[in-house]
Structure formats: C-alpha cells, structure tokens
Chains A and B, each alone.
Chain A
Amino acid sequence: MEATIRVHQQFINITTGLPKPLGRSRKAQYAPKPTNTVRARDCNSWIKKSNFRLDGVSKRKRKPEGRPARNAMVSLNHWQHQRHHVHLMSRVLNIRTNASPFTLILDDLNQRALPFVCELVRRGLSRNVNVVVVAFETTRFPGGVRHIPAHAASNGDQLLLQLTRAMDEAKESLVIVDSLYELLQIEGIDMSALFNLVAGKFASTLVGVYHQDMLPAQDAQNPYAPQTLDLLKYLATSIVICKSFAHVLAAKVARERSLAEPTYGLLQGAEGVVECLDANDHRGIVLEAEFRRKSGRPESEVYFLRTAHPSDYNVPVPGMIFGTLKQEFVALLEQVPAYGNSGVLALINLAADDIESTFNLGLTEKQKQAREGVVLPYTDAQKGEGGEGGRILYDMGVEDDFDEEEDEI
C-alpha cells in the first residue's frame, strides 16, 4: 500500500494536484527521477527537428500504434483514472502522433472554441509543427501561422490544391478548419477527400470547428441524406464540446438544488439577446471530450482548460515563436477547486439566501442616501412642541402635482 502511494507522489505534483508532464517515454516514467517537473525549453525529443525541409521531404508513414501490453484486468484507482484521462487530453493538445487524426470541436456562441484552438496552435508552434488554418472567419493571423483565405475559394479542388501546397514543405502539419459548416457549403468539397489528404497522405492532424447554433440548410434534392453534423461526428476520432465555465457551475448548482438547469444565449428566447452575459468565461473553458480508441471504445471525460499565461511557457529557443510548455495545466473538471464541493456549496447557499421575487430588493448608493434623508413622524414629534397635531409631513417630489381636493378632508 505504502509503495503505491509513493509511486503516485512521483507523478502527481503535490501542490497543484496535477499530473506531471507525460512527455517522457514510458520506461523513463517508471524509473526514479529527480524531482525536475518542468520541461526544459529546448528538449530534444519534444521540438521536432527538421520538420521543415524544402528539398524532398521524407513523409512520415502512419504505423499501427505499438502499445505495450497492458494488464487490462486491473481496474484503475482514482489517481490512475485521473492521470489516464489527463494524459488522453494532453496527447490531443500536444498534437502527439496518432493521438487523434480528426478532432471535431463543437462550440456555440455561449462558449466559442477559440481558447482551445489557440492552445493547440501555441503548442503546435512550440513543437515546430507546421500550422495551417483554413480560414473562413478571420483575415488577420500572427506570424508563423499559414492561412488559406478559404472564404474566397470558389471550389473544393482549388482549396485542396492550396492546402496541399501549404502542407508540402513540412513533415508534420496541424490543419485547422475554423468553420466546418462553411467548408461544406463550398461546391465540390468532400470531407473524406480532405481527411484522406491530411490524415492519410500527410500523416498530420486535422482539427475542425463546427458551430452548433448554425441552422443546417435544407437539402431539397436529397431530403433523406443525413445531416452534415451527424456525418462529421461519425468521422471524428475525438469530439470536444466547449462550454462556458460559468454555465457549468450554474448547471451544477441547479442540479444540487433539484431545479431545472438554466438555458443561455439563443436558447433563452429573449428578444434581442444574441450572447449571454457570462459567455466566454475568462477563467477558462470546460471541454466535454470523447476519445475513440482504435477498437471503437469511446472514453469520455470532462476537462477544464484554464486561461493560459505567458509564464506557462518557456522562453522560446532562437528561431521559434513560442517556447515549450513548462507543465501540463489541463485538468479534469472534478479537480478544479471552484467546481468542487466548497465552491459550489457557497453558490448554493447564496442562491438559497436570495428571496425569490420579481422586485430588486437591493439598494443603490443613491437610494440609500434618499432613505437616510427621510424624516420619520416620531422624530419630528420629539422636537419642540411635539408636532402640530396630525399635520401630514410630506415633501413634494419633482413628479408630484398638488391636488387640492384630496387635502380638503
């Protein structure tokens, strides 16, 4: 028992509760290591050497995953479970070979996919991966990111040609489509052709964003064809659904109190509300992910990717735009203190304290001052001759008009 605990302490950083980076080989992990948790800024195996070569690149071939035999009978305990799932997400985020050839990201206006996509791009650039964006939504990109202005593309063949040209110079690329909906609107595009090109021919990674709140166009010619989103879900090797952290918290609070979960944004049905107030939470983004193994077995877990800071990355080595990641910071949602019991309990108590009414019972500073200024009848009666026997104490406001008849009683 004691031995296992000691092993766990090796992998889990005690202070943060987060697993240590999992970039080393499996053998190295099990060997006792000095407590150097932070990845060096120019570690040899991490940054891809000679990824870009202009003269005849030797393409990498996709090989079947050579997994070491596992004793599958052993059920994972809590720590192992957490570490395993964080490792799965970390592989996708770090664009590890064969981790997920086609990742489908589903987002909506309540939480856009950009924080997640930017994290992918940063880590890709830090590993010297060729990042290509098929852009339907933006025109301005930072240096180092190749982009194809796909919004102006007229047909699918032209787009694939441009993409081939952009990927040709590198051994390994990361291709990001920032709106799959728009991509499939282009005449003559074939999703499987794109997949074959990126994942098959170039052995690279394809990431596509699909906005869930776009309405699918009705297909008059082919009414029985499946919806494009269903097809994409079928094709994907990982599916990541983006949610706002604030909304997930609110939903949990509602569940704990056995209330219906609140709806947000467009679903809210309020006239004129396009985006809800706590959309795109600045603290981080909640990712509901499903990873599909080769066997077809899905593994699902909910993650929390906090907002990245420049201090999470090493200083870039010369010639690189981004430094390597120091330490993995994606975590399971249940590991996040704010989502854990204490944080949510405080919110529940807060919600229970609120008296439910349609009135706003709070006071603003101005209202407080006005309230202080009111002279109550008994204070008036205490001074001098003790009031004037039933005189009505009332100061006329701006909005009052004097009504003579009412006072003639």
Chain B
Amino acid sequence: MPPSTRIPPLLQPYVHLPRNDSLLLLTSTLGATANWLLIRVLCDALNNPEDGGDGHNVVLVSWMREYEFWRQEARKGAALDLERLKKEGRFAFVDGLSELCLDASTNAPATTSKSAPQITATSTVGGSPTQKAPQILPVRGPPGRIVPARGLPQGAAPASPALTSTSVQTSSTTRSSLGHHTMKSLDIAHLQTTITTAISSLTFSKSTQRKTLLILDNPDLLLALNPTISPSAMTSLILTLHTLPSVSHILTHMQSDNPFLSPSTRPQPLETSHHNLLVKLAHMSSRVLGVRVLDTGVARDVSGVVRVTEQRVGWMDLGLHEEGKNGDRAEEGKGREFLYQVKGDGSVRVFERGAGGEG
C-alpha cells in the first residue's frame, strides 16, 4: 500500500492504534507542531487492511484549524483525499473554529470564516476578488495562533455578512450530509450532540464492524473560551463519548508548554485547569505521544523530538500478560524517543538520536 510509505517505519508501531479500546494523548509545544503526526495517525487509521478489520472510521474535531487546512495537509503529507473519504462515509469533520471564534468579532468582518466554504463550495460565491484567497489560506504556523481579522477595505465590509450567512446555509443543508458539521455554541451539551451526530452519521452508513476513531484537536481551547467548563466536565465528555459502542479510540491533542506543566507560584485559574486537564488525560491514556523542540537548541536538519511512552497495564486484561512474549518486553518496557524532520514537501523523516546524517 502506498500509505505505508508515508508513515516512517520507526513510528509505525506507535502511530498504529492499540488493539484494545483505549484513550490516547498527543501533546505538542509552541515550537514543535504535531499536525504532521496527527495526519500520520489519520493515514494509518483510514487505511490499514491487516488485523481483521478494514481500518477505522475517523471523526476529526478541530478547535484550532479549519477543514481546508486539514484537507491540504492530508493531501500533502499522506496523499489522503478527505473529500472522497467524506463521500464514502468514512470521515467526518466537526468544525469548532469558524462559527465559534471567527464570527465572534462583530466589529471587524470575519474574513477567514468565509474562506473555507468559499473554496470548497466554489460555485456558490464568486463575489470577492480571487487573489485574496491565497493570502487568507491558513498556513503552517505556531499553534495557538488564530488568524487575526485583518482590516479589510471598508467597501468589503457590508458584503461579507451576507456572504457568510449564505455559506452557513449551504453548509447546514448540503455539506452536513457529506460529513461536515459545525459547532455553533460553547455549551458542553451542544458539543456532545454535535460530535455524537457526526459519529452516528458514519456508523449508519456502514454495516461492517468498523469502529470509529475520534480525534479531538486542542479541546483545551474551550477552557479558555468558556470559563464555566471545568476539566472534569471535559474528561466526562470524553468518557461519555467513549461509552458509545461504535467509538473504539479517542485521541486528544493538547498543548504541553511549560506554563501548563509547571504553573507559576500563584497559578491563575486557567493555568490550573489546563494543567489538571492535561495531567488527568495523561493518567487516562494508555499511550502518550509528545512532540517538542530539541533540548539543545535549534538545528537545521532536526525539527524536533517525538517521545512515546506507554502504560501497558490496563483494566481490560488486568495487567496479566502472556509470558510467551517475554523476549520483546524488555525492549518495549521503556519509552522511546526519536528525532524527526518535517520537509518542505510535507514528508517526514524519523530517525534515532545520532543516526541522522544525510540519508
């Protein structure tokens, strides 16, 4: 299969979903984004023909990026056609960004919110100048950066609300059937129903045994957007979604920058709740993948370090492993660390420490 070449062989066993139903955690820092790793997980889950099943369905919920970004990254990095997968009913996207954050600024017209629908549903809106599009496109940048509403020329301002309203209508009528869902409120109940509809839209279309992988991209943003959401409510939501029979794995992507790991001496409430959410999810997860920058500084041929640690004792088997596998356990017991380099064309090279060089 061509996708297997997209996943670096060293990372393959860790990108592959565990056999047991479980929660996974992926952390990243400001300097080292983990989007490439998310794409690799997507790639592995959407097509792996071995071990009985035929891969997983995937629901991607993103509070940090728009659909357009993920579509391009998936095409570039893993040669995945998300549009086709949406039509096949194997992939669904829940947009937590454009309705919640980008429309919120009433003063400055929301330039970015209309960009995503504009490009995918090209025929409906053709009013705005087309040379604006590449400028507005979400580019790779540090996570946490929400594209600020640039000051449009005043003439464009009255036109844009009309445009967004039409695009919202089209998304609610035509696109939701194709696996595109949008969140319209910060309420946790609304969150749950939206994600549940997204999940059920996939499972109803297929009668096979295929389970669903749910990817939550940066749900920690919600803690900041809505202070009434507590970390407990957040993990409760995740567990409630995990109790759905069709959901087998939930991968959560969160930030693990220093302020969240070791808060200041008089921590602010947001720091505390973010820290607690991160720690709690790490306790719940059977595998933690962490992406960070090189400890020794910036290097030209290394983008960062990826660390994999696993908790092998789980509730399902109560920690009793067969002794026949003793040979590889000494090797697997410890966590692993690799260096990686993301290249300009979206491909990724993963290698062990000291085994870099050119090749």
Measuring CB to CB, which residues of chain A are less than 8 angstroms from any residue of chain B? 109, 112, 114-115, 118-119, 121-122, 136-142, 145, 149, 151-152, 179, 182, 185, 211, 213-215, 217-218, 266-267, 269-283, 307-311, 360, 362, 364, 366-367, 398
Whether B142 is near chain A, meaning CB under 8 Å from some CB there, is no
**Does B177 reach chain A (CB closer than 8 Å)?**
no
Quick check: A118 and B319 within 8 Å, CB to CB? yes
CB–CB A277/B307 < 8 A: yes
Knowing A185-B230, A215-B267, say if A276 contacts B314 (CB, 8 Å).
no
Known: A151-B239, A185-B230, A272-B292. A109 touches B282 (CB 8 A): yes
How near does chain A come to B292, taking the closest CB pair, in angstroms? 3
Q: Assess the A364–B291 pair: CB atoms within 8 A.
A: no
Given A269-B262, A271-B292, A272-B291, the answer on whether A114 and B313 have CB atoms closer than 8 Å is yes
Within the assembled complex, what's the spacing in Å between the Cα atoms of A215 and B283? 14
A137 is contacted by which of B284, B321, B337 (Cβ under 8 Å)?
B284
Please list 13 pairs of residues, one from A and one from B, whose beta carbons are closer than 8 Å in the complex, sorted by A's number.
A136-B235, A137-B239, A137-B284, A138-B284, A211-B283, A214-B280, A215-B263, A269-B258, A272-B28, A277-B334, A278-B335, A307-B321, A309-B321
Asked if A272 and B319 make an inter-chain contact with CB atoms under 8 angstroms apart, the answer reads: no
Closest 6 pairs between A and B when the two form their complex, measured CB to CB: A272-B292, A282-B333, A277-B335, A118-B319, A272-B29, A151-B236
> Which residue of A is nearest B355, CB measured?
A364
B201 at interface, CB cutoff 8 A: no
Task: Output the nearest chain A residue to B309 by Cβ-Cβ distance.
Answer: A275
A222 CB to nearest B CB, Å:
16
Residues of A within 8 A of B263 (CB): 215
Given contacts A137-B284, A215-B263, A282-B312, contact A274 B290 (CB under 8 A): yes
CB distance from B316 to the nearest CB of A (A): 6
Contacts of B29 in A (CB 8 A): 271-272
Q: Which of B63-71, B128-136, B160-168, B271-279 lies on the face that meets chain A? A: B271-279
* From A152, A182, A217, A274, contact of B272 by CB (8 A): A217
* Residues of A close to B261: CB separation below 8 A: 266, 269, 271-274
Bound: A308/B322 CA distance, A: 10
- The answer on a CB contact under 8 Å between A141 and B319 is no
| Alpha-carbon distance A266/B336, docked complex (angstroms) | 17
Contact B320 A211 (CB under 8 A): no
Known: A272-B27, A273-B292. A279 touches B21 (CB 8 A): no
Contacts of B236 in A (CB 8 A): 151-152
Measured between beta carbons, the chain A residues less than 8 angstroms from B283 are: 109, 112, 137, 179, 211
**Docked CA distance A14–B98 (Å):** 70
The answer on a CB contact under 8 Å between A283 and B333 is yes
The smallest beta-carbon distance between A277 and chain B, in angstroms, is 4
Q: B309–A277 contact, CB under 8 A?
A: yes
**A211's contact among B242, B272, B280, B318, by CB below 8 Å, is which?**
B280
B interface list, Cβ under 8 A from A: 20-22, 25, 27-29, 32, 230, 232, 235-236, 239-240, 242-243, 256-258, 261-263, 267, 269, 272, 275-276, 278-280, 282-284, 288, 290-293, 295, 307, 309-323, 329-330, 332-337, 353-355, 357-359
Point out the residues of chain A lying under 8 angstroms from B357, CB to CB. 366
Knowing A139-B239, A151-B235, the reply to whether A276 touches B318 (Cβ < 8 A) is: no
Cross-chain contact B354 with A115 (CB below 8 angstroms):
no
Q: Are A274 and B278 in contact (CB under 8 A)?
A: yes
Asked if A185 and B322 make an inter-chain contact with CB atoms under 8 angstroms apart, the answer reads no
Separation of A276 and B311 alpha carbons in the complex (Å): 12
Assembled-state Cα–Cα distance A364/B256 (Å): 32
Q: How far is the CB of B263 from chain A (nearest CB, A)?
A: 7
A182–B292 CA distance with the chains assembled, in angstroms: 29
Report which of A149, A214, A311 forms a contact with B323, defined as CB distance below 8 A: A311
Residue of A nearest to B314 (CB): A114
**Does B276 contact A214, Cβ atoms closer than 8 Å?**
yes
Across-interface contacts of B322 in A (CB, < 8 A)? 310
Q: How far is the CA of A248 from the CA of B22 in the complex (A)?
A: 29
Judging by beta carbons under 8 Å apart, are B290 and A275 in contact? yes
Determine the distance from Cα of A211 to Cα of B281 in the docked complex, in whole angstroms: 12
- Shortest beta-carbon distance, B14 to chain A, in Å? 13
How far in angstroms is the closest Cβ of chain A from B275? 5
B309 to A279, Cβ gap below 8 A? yes
Contacts of A119 in B (CB 8 A): 319
Residue A122 contacts which of B243, B272, B318 (CB distance < 8 angstroms)? B318
- Chain A nearest Cβ from B18, distance in angstroms: 12
Find the B residue at minimum CB distance from A115: B313
Contact indicator A364/B307 (Cβ below 8 Å): no
B-side contacts of A398, CB under 8 Å: 358
Known: A215-B275, A308-B319, A309-B323. A114 touches B282 (CB 8 A): no
Partner among B258, B310, B320, B332 whose Cβ is within 8 Å of the Cβ of A309: B320
Q: Is the CB of A271 within 8 A of B257?
A: yes
